[in-house]
């Protein structure tokens, strides 16, 4: 069972499974390649954007090996499988894209005597993003 943290306003499904315990996220931090264009008579170089590159998404989460979404991300990393993803924002807008998990490490520690397992998971976005 995936847990949505109190106050969490956006959700992510990865391969059809809700990714739970996300407490911070950053999406779409890529940038397009640049094409340099210069004719022989031009006074200066000109640059044009190439195809879009939406980059990666970084998820700060409390690691839970029983969470179906986190399990799906770990399987994607192990099998190098691209999965469909849907990011739903608090205003109801949905962004759909394909991605694969690059890393979902385990970071351990203690807080008030309790063991805390966190992770900074990174997924790579591939292809175009559609909005609904």
Report domain extents, the chain: 11-33+46-131
Can you list the residues of the chain whose pLDDT is less than 70?
1-8
What pLDDT is recorded for position 112?
Answer: 73
What pLDDT is recorded for position 116?
Answer: 75
Task: Give the separation between CA 92 and CA 86, rounded to whole angstroms.
Answer: 12
What pLDDT is recorded for position 17?
Answer: 96
What pLDDT is recorded for position 42?
Answer: 81
Q: Identify the H or E element spanning 14.
A: strand 11-14
What pLDDT is recorded for position 8?
Answer: 60
Contact present, 59 and 72 (Cβ < 8 Å): no
Contact present, 64 and 4 (Cβ < 8 Å): no
Q: Give the burial string for 15-47 (b: 16+ CB within 10 Å, else e).
A: bebbbbbbeebebbeeeeeeeeeeeeeeeeeee
């Amino acid at each position: 069972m995936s847990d949505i943290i109190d106050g969490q306003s956006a959700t992510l499904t990865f391969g059809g499974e809700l990714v739970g315990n996300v407490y911070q996220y950053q999406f779409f931090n890529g940038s397009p390649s640049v094409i340099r264009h210069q004719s022989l008579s031009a006074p200066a170089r000109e640059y044009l954007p190439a195809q879009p590159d939406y980059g990666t998404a970084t998820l700060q989460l409390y690691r839970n090996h029983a969470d179906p979404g986190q399990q799906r991300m770990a399987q994607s990393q192990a099998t190098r499988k691209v999965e469909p993803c849907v990011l739903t924002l608090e205003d109801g807008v949905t962004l759909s894209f394909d991605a694969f998990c690059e890393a979902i490490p385990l970071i351990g520690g203690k807080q008030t005597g309790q063991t805390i397992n966190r992770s900074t998971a990174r997924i790579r976005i591939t292809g175009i993003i559609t909005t609904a």
